Structure formats: structure tokens, C-alpha cells
Structure 1
């Protein structure tokens, strides 16, 4: 055997041995975490991850959680947050590092948001990295169709890639529930579907305890997981009230700006057409006397999403103004025009910074104006949220709930790097 062949053989054997060592090391870390909750879905993954973690924490469980939504964060048992360090960008392999970190923290429960989009990577994330005892699929709606499409059913099938084996799985999906049931049966898992009765059981008083707008489906889903893990409903709900919301959570910011009464709604994270329409029409109904402005933050690398929102726009309660910002606004405008929307009513502020966009929105505002941010939270979205939030009135204290003082809005500790 030549020297080169011996070197190659030795290198291959070294790589195989190293990979085997890494697999054994990772499985050992998994065994040290008795409960592992893997959260997937189109909308609400980050919020549900935080809700479940907060509810379990209130039940005296030692919980480590990791979100990959607006800003990737690891939430420690004491609720201190660490930023996830990504020198080479997001990669599903970081779940290995999170599992080891949770084991080092002696976590009883790890609640982790699925970060994969490619169907094969969703399967890999579950079967190789997390191996959940409890799976969660929040919903299955048309989004990321370039990766998981082309249709809504294909999205549901892609999400089922992380269906755990011989475990429990919870979902609030209804329209494509049959696809999830088929996947659960194939994996030998128990599927618990949250229906209308469970959602209607969430009272108005239950929702008033949150310092941000939360969806009843998310709360019902998180409560079901917590109850399955032995935490009483009222205890879990109280913990959820006191939890820190995700940076992309739906929040209403009220501004008194030089004689103008403005309400800015951060709905950038709801970037599929169904969720976006629901939130838009809820906001318009809540502020019927306000001039309405829909701000679509476009991204040239999310052209399909821009097209979907543009196609859906004519079916919405009509805004007084439509503003397209960010990059790749042409995709949004063309799709809206093809669907019958008068594009002369679209104000295009392509590739401008947040301050310029803010000033243009002020120019469009009347005495009372509702401004709803939609499309994408990344990039310009976060900058716009910061501008409005820093100019908003302080949120008044919530009315006290029965047998409980009103919670104050939690102030996140400065994020450190993990």
C-alpha cells in the first residue's frame, strides 16, 4: 500500500472514530435530560416555546429553553437569557451544542424550537439531535413554499418530518390534521389535537394576564403540554403571565407624536397570508376610528412570501394606505396588481433606512392612525419596532385578575453570548 493510500485510510478511520465518539457523547447528554420538548410549526413556534418553558418553570421544574425566532436565545432556569453565538450563521448542528449545554445545567426539561426548514433537516433535527419525548406542531400554513411547498399539504408533510417516535405530540392544526394523524400513526406516537372546545375554554381573564397580545390557540396548546407533564393548569398559566415575551411578539405601542395619536402594531413576525390577514382585521376592528396603514417589510431573499402577501391583499379589509419597504418590493407590487389591487395606492419606500420610513409614515398619518407592520421582522422590521417602541407611552398596569395582582412587564436581562 502506498503512503498516500495509508494516509487516506488513516484519515477515514479517524473521521469514523470521531463521529462515533460524538454520537455516543450526544446520546449520553440526551439521557441526562428526562423530558425533551421539540416545537415546530408555521406560526407561533417561538411564542409556544416560551409559554411551555414558563409554565413548566412555574411548576418547579428545572427548564432550559431555546428559541430561534426573531432573535435566537437560550433561556436559563432562572429566566436569564443568553444570545446564541453564530459566527458562521444558523446551522441545525447548533442543537447538539444546546443539548450539551442543557445537560450541563442539569435541566429536567429542554424545550427547543425546531430551526430547520428543509424536510430532510427537520427529520435529522428530531431523530439525531433532539429525540423528543414530547413533540409540538403549532399549525401548518402556507409559508416557505420554495422549500416546503409547493402547496399547503406539502408544508404539513414537511413539518411531520420532526414527528417524534413512540412519544406524545400536540397540535393546534385543524385543516390538515389528517396528515399529522397519519404521520403520528406511522411513528407510533400519540397525537393530541387542540380543538375549538379547548380554545374556547381560555377565558378573557386568562388572556388579560399577558403583557403582550397572545393567541388563544398558543395558550391552549402550551397548557396541554404543561398539564401532560404534571403541572396544574392554573400554576402553568400564572407562569406564562410572568414569562418574558419573544421580541417578535404582537405588541401595541401607543404614541403621542406632536398632536398625532398613533398606534403601532408589531406584527412583522406573522408573515404568512392567513395569520397576517387575521391580525390586520383584528387591529382594524379594534381601532375603527383610526386611519389604517399596512406596512409590508419585504426581503429580496423571501420573494415568495412577498408574492403571497401581495396576492392576498385585495381580500383584506382595505387599508387607507399600503406601504412597501425593505428590498424586493417589486415582487409584492406585481402580485398585488395581478390580484386586482390598485398599485397607485401603494407607497413604495424601497431600500430606505428605518428613520426615513418612520418620517414617511408620520407624513401619511392623520390625527389618529393605526400602523401595522407585516411581512418580515428581520432587518428593517426590528429597526422600525425599536423606533416606535422607544417613542411610545409606557404601558399602563393591567387590571388585577381574581386572586392575583397584575403582573408588571418583565424586563429582559441584557443578553449574553452562548
Structure 2
């Protein structure tokens, strides 16, 4: 199949950035949009996380789909960007290893690449462990590309070796420390600041813009319902990130019910989480969403936002994880709409 570049000649002078990785892509795109805009660049960005969106000087708009996501959406979006764009930031939404290359090829040869992390995910497509993630994600990084990655990701010797073999120019983002921000915010911000420095843009303005952003709809947070609590970690997806988030709460497992929202099309994710979900220290371990054929966890049928709220009130303290699609996302949208009308 012949791959055509989608960035028009009119955009060749624009800063072009492709964001790839296991987790955190949408947050990095959102941060980059805020930072580049604050530095005076007319920026267009595309997020494909919890809710697909375009960010532009006109504001934020949802990308409406008549069916599930498709890699062709990246090509369509690139072709729709107006000529006045001075910066273009796109999340690589491909999952299949053989499709990873499309984002960079459609963007253009001078695009900067961001590799957020190589945590195990999509094991059914990528294979097991970090090695599977590295092998799959490297398919999206062209030979000789300029790559930005945070310090934690750069600790992967197999990744750095592979990038070196590809002749890539790797920029390891110096860590950012702030006790007032979660670890993931500091890590993603470090990538943004490294790119601003590379481009000769105002890092202080960029950082101020990122830190002033309100939380995104599915960012990790704790919600309260009549004295009961739900820790929203549904969008973390991989087990490593999920455990890190739980540990930041300092909640005792004995007083916490863990709730895994299952998706039929993500069977390997449930398998990856099971050893942690089945730990005897939990107050209770519950499963909601699509019912698997076989599971050692207690299944709860939760078909509405009201049913989820009732479950939270029954349990007292709930840590939600696994997948955000379905009722958890409906709960978050309902809460966001309530905030907007407050």
C-alpha cells in the first residue's frame, strides 16, 4: 500500500508533533496545545482518548463518530487543518503494530516524535510485557526521527538501544519536581518543557499555561457521594499506572473495594489485572461492565449511573479501574455537565 503524506505544502513551516506511547498520550497532547498556544503559536491538536476532540484557537470540539475509531481519522483530520496553523499536534491512535507507522508518515518527515512510555498494554495485539510494547511502538518511529521521552521511559535499555539503531536523535526530558502536582503531571510537563526548549520558545509561559489547565474529564480524582468515595482511575488502563495511582491515595486495601470495569474487546487487560484484583487484602473485589465467560471475581450488573452511585454508597470507599467506557464515562460526563451549569 502506498502511503501518502497528508501534511499539505501550506503546513510545511508549522511545528509538527506526533505523540505516541502506551499511556498518557491525550494528556501530553492537551499540555502541548496549551503551552504552544501560550507561546503565541496558532495551534491545532487532536486527542483520541476518552472523548475524541479537536483543540484549536476557536476552542474545543468533540469529534463525532458514527462507529468506532479508525486510523483513517488521523488522515482526515490532518487534511482539514487550515492554512494558518503554526503548530500541529496529533495523538497516534493506531493500536495494531503494523499501523503504528501511519501517523508519522502522514504528518511529514520533519515531525517531532514524543514517546510517553512503554508500559505493557494491548497485550492481545502487542504481546506480553514491556518488550511487546517497545516492539510495537517502535514501528511508529521513523529512522532518524527526533524523539522526546521522559527520564523514566529512557530507563528502558531495550528502547534506547533500538532508537540508537534507528539513528534517532533522542532528547531525554529532565525531570520536573513539584510537590503540589501528581507524578504523571510532572512527567508529562517535563516532555512539554523539553520541546519548548528545543524550539526556542518561552518555557515559563508554557509551564504556566499547563499548570493553569483544569482537570480533564477522566483525569484521576476522588469523587464524593453522600460521604462515600470513588477514586476514578478507570482511564489508567495499564496495571503499573493503576497501582501507582492507588498508592498515592494511601487508602488501606482492607477498607477499599476495588471495582474493575470490563470491556469484551480488551480481554488481555482483565488477565493482566487479575493477580492484583484477587489479592485477599481488599475489602471486596468486584467486576462490572461486560461479563466475561470466566472470572473468579464477584460480578455486579451496573447498567446506569444511578446503579453505580448506589454501589459506591453501599461500599463506602471504591477504587475504580480497568476501562472508562460505558457507565463510568456516563458518570463523569454527568458530573462535568453539572459543573458547567453550576
2:222 is the alignment partner of 1:292: no
Structure 1 counterpart of 2:311:
360
Residues 11 and 86 in structure 2, CA contact (< 8 A), matched pair in contact too:
no
Residues 11 and 85 in structure 2, CA contact (< 8 A), matched pair in contact too:
no
Q: How many residues in Structure 1 have an aligned counterpart in Structure 2? A: 340
Residues 363-374 of structure 1 mapped to structure 2, 5 A cutoff: 363-365=314-316, 370-374=317-321
**Given the superposition, is the C-alpha separation of residues 147 and 30 from structure 1 closer, same or farther in structure 2, using an over 3 Å criterion?**
farther
Structure 1 counterpart of 2:232:
266
Residues 303 and 328 in structure 1, CA contact (< 8 A), matched pair in contact too:
no
Deviation for aligned residue 1:41 = 0.8
The structure that has the greater radius of gyration is: 1
Q: Could you tell me how far apart the structure 1 residues matched to 2:210 and 2:276 are?
A: 33
SS at match of 2:95: coil
Q: Scaled by the length of structure 2, what TM-score is found? A: 0.88
Uncovered stretches (5+) of structure 1, i.e. residues with no partner: 1-15, 335-342, 395-410, 413-418
Q: Which residue, 43, 47, 51 being the options, matches 1:63?
A: 43
Q: Could you tell me how far apart the structure 1 residues matched to 2:8 and 2:332 are?
A: 42
Residues 15 and 87 in structure 2, CA contact (< 8 A), matched pair in contact too:
yes
Q: Could you tell me how far apart the structure 1 residues matched to 2:254 and 2:335 are?
A: 17
Q: Which residue, 76, 82, 86 being the options, matches 1:97?
A: 76
Q: Which residue, 38, 55, 60 being the options, matches 2:18?
A: 38
2:158 is the alignment partner of 1:179: yes
**Given the superposition, is the C-alpha separation of residues 230 and 245 from structure 1 closer, same or farther in structure 2, using an over 3 Å criterion?**
farther
Q: Could you tell me how far apart the structure 1 residues matched to 2:178 and 2:79 are?
A: 39
C-alpha offsets along residues 334-368 of structure 1, whole Å, 9 cap, x if unaligned? 4xxxxxxxx5xx4x213633322321221222xxx
Residues 75-86 of structure 1 mapped to structure 2, 5 A cutoff: 75-78=55-58, 80-86=59-65
Residues 50 and 243 in structure 1, CA contact (< 8 A), matched pair in contact too:
no
**Given the superposition, is the C-alpha separation of residues 254 and 88 from structure 1 closer, same or farther in structure 2, using an over 3 Å criterion?**
closer
**Given the superposition, is the C-alpha separation of residues 292 and 105 from structure 1 closer, same or farther in structure 2, using an over 3 Å criterion?**
farther
RMSD: 3.0
2:177 is the alignment partner of 1:202: yes
**Given the superposition, is the C-alpha separation of residues 387 and 246 from structure 1 closer, same or farther in structure 2, using an over 3 Å criterion?**
closer
Q: Could you tell me how far apart the structure 2 residues matched to 1:192 and 1:145 are?
A: 28
Residues 113 and 145 in structure 2, CA contact (< 8 A), matched pair in contact too:
yes
Structure 2 counterpart of 1:379:
326
Structure 1 counterpart of 2:289:
326
Deviation for aligned residue 1:305 = 0.5
Structure 1 counterpart of 2:206:
236
Deviation for aligned residue 1:321 = 2.5
Q: Could you tell me how far apart the structure 2 residues matched to 1:77 and 1:386 are?
A: 24
Q: Could you tell me how far apart the structure 2 residues matched to 1:322 and 1:175 are?
A: 35
Deviation for aligned residue 1:70 = 0.2
SS at match of 2:266: helix
Q: Could you tell me how far apart the structure 2 residues matched to 1:325 and 1:77 are?
A: 39
Q: Scaled by the length of structure 1, what TM-score is found? A: 0.73
Deviation for aligned residue 1:372 = 2.1
SS at match of 1:170: strand
Q: Which residue, 124, 147, 154 being the options, matches 2:102?
A: 124
SS at match of 2:300: strand
Deviation for aligned residue 1:179 = 3.0
Uncovered stretches (5+) of structure 2, i.e. residues with no partner: none
Pick the structure with more helix per residue. 1
Q: Could you tell me how far apart the structure 2 residues matched to 1:387 and 1:294 are?
A: 22
2:54 is the alignment partner of 1:74: yes
Q: Which residue, 124, 131, 134 being the options, matches 1:156?
A: 134
